[in-house]
Chains A and B, each alone.
Chain A
């Protein structure tokens, strides 16, 4: 009884606060789901937005890009956060369920490949990474580190957009090394690579901590670039930089529109660097503007 009383009290206080803040503020509820790479970023955005709009409630959860997109297709979420673009067949499935999907790029990730700090190799070509991830090369000795031992590949699981991105862009869709370990999260892989001297893993640059984020070169003749330097991600010189997406369920209106516009605004873009990801380049901003004017929001 006492607890019920207290709960009622809290609700009452919320109502009074809500009334006090006035009607100018946007209110409502948004269900945002998807990429594990983006879950911290999305959470930080949502919290900053809710600080400014106390009547808005945004629920951000992870699970993987595929999970968010599946939720969008089944009309269960308002916004799917995804670290890969939606496939044409997924778009078709959404249309079949009468879900109109609109794509916006909201940030950039210099997808990091990480090795243990004891590893003397800190730079790789895309071809070398492919050979490691597909299991063609299984020992560090083949890469010039004789004491390295057998390579342990740490991968995300197949519901991860990062998994799909690496598989399609580095590995040309070939199969993973049979001994690759599939772990359920970016932090888990970072932690494993930190402890295992022979480990190599990949995840969003925002999760790099206590490991070496290697420099990657497009081929033997190119220079290798680090994902930790913004200019190389912006210019596309870092070969596995990628956009991070919001997929909106229907033409954004009300809270969804306000939230999207805020994220694309300078204020929203400033938050990104705190999490370790990168703000949009002018090209992405232009692409977003084009979508916005197409649906009559410009």
Chain B
């Protein structure tokens, strides 16, 4: 009796100890995040002080290794958003269709092939996809659109679409799958058919998860580096064309993103130089974007869940 009593206490203490350890490990990720953020900001600071934040955000001349250097990143910011937004045009409808099919319509054997196939697409190294884009897709784009070269924003967008698709499908599919069965049964009981149930009951009920899937897909696209570095040409001009005097994004021109700039220039830059600090400013800008996107995603998920 005594030994059992003693053992009981020992187990409880051990449980508490494990819980505390796990809490510490979890807190460590927050600490890492803070350290990275702090590092980015302190490293950016000398460039911000000398050049000014406004020049980075609004300036359009990026020539940091010139004798009269320019540090305007606005075209890269535009480029990053342009390709990330473009990379949603295709995978959002396509991904949602796949998610609906897998979760509502597909027979079990089909689902069991489709899901792992999509997840495999997600783990392809981006450098491999970039190489495929460079060797196969770019010459094809050049031929189809009769361009001199195929290193265009469109080439990047297509490759990014392939990469964003699995993210969108898997999260949207989770959201649709977690809509309670009672909703569907209630809908059928009211005389709705399968399509009406999916479109008018299931999807509205899963909208927060679907929105989150789109935003995470956007986050994935804006942070992608290697593929774009290889296939998008990295030109510094603003890829817009004017239709009836209105500037619209031109996807048949080359584009440079924030990530590609860091990847191109980060390796060679003399440490401690103004250029080096300027690259940290680019990193901070990029971090801010992805952070805000994640925050918004979280907010959307939370808000709509409470409302339901």
Chain A residues within CB distance 8 Å of chain B? 63-67, 69-70, 73-74, 89-90, 93, 149-150, 152, 157-159, 164, 167, 173, 175-176, 178-184, 192, 195-199
Contact = CB atoms under 8 A, between A and B. Distances in A.
B270 A159 contact: no
Interface residues of B, number: 32
Contacts of A183: 151, 233-234
Interface of B: 61, 63-68, 70, 139, 142, 148-149, 151, 229-230, 233-238, 253-254, 256, 264-265, 267-272
B235 A182 contact: yes
Nearest to A180: B235
B275 to A, nearest CB: 9
Contacts of B256: 182
Contact of A192 (B67, B149, B238): B149
Q: Is the interface of B mostly helix, strand, loop or mixed?
A: loop
A181 B148 contact: no
A152 B270 contact: no
A197 B146 CA distance: 12
B237 A178 contact: yes
B66 to A, nearest CB: 6
B235 A70 contact: no
A169 B99 CA distance: 57
A150 B66 CA distance: 26
A182 B233 contact: yes
A64 B267 contact: yes
A63 B63 contact: no
Given A64-B268, A158-B264, A180 B236 contact: yes
Contacts of A180: 235-236
Contacts of A89: 270
B267 A164 contact: no
B235 A179 contact: yes
B268 A182 contact: no
Contacts of A66: 267-269
Contacts of A167: 65-66
Given A159-B265, A199-B148, A179 B254 contact: yes
A74 B253 CA distance: 38
B65 A184 contact: no
26 contacts: A65-B268, A66-B269, A67-B267, A70-B268, A90-B270, A93-B270, A93-B271, A149-B148, A157-B264, A157-B265, A158-B64, A158-B65, A159-B267, A164-B65, A173-B66, A175-B63, A176-B63, A181-B151, A181-B254, A182-B235, A183-B233, A184-B230, A192-B149, A196-B148, A196-B149, A198-B148
Contacts of B70: 175
A181 B230 CA distance: 11
B132 to A, nearest CB: 15
Contacts of A67: 267-268
Given A157-B264, A173-B66, A199-B148, A181 B235 contact: yes
A178 B268 contact: no
Contacts of B149: 152, 181, 192, 195-196, 199
Given A70-B267, A73-B270, A181-B233, 10 more contacts: A66-B269, A70-B269, A70-B271, A152-B148, A173-B68, A175-B61, A181-B149, A182-B233, A184-B230, A195-B149
A183 B260 CA distance: 11
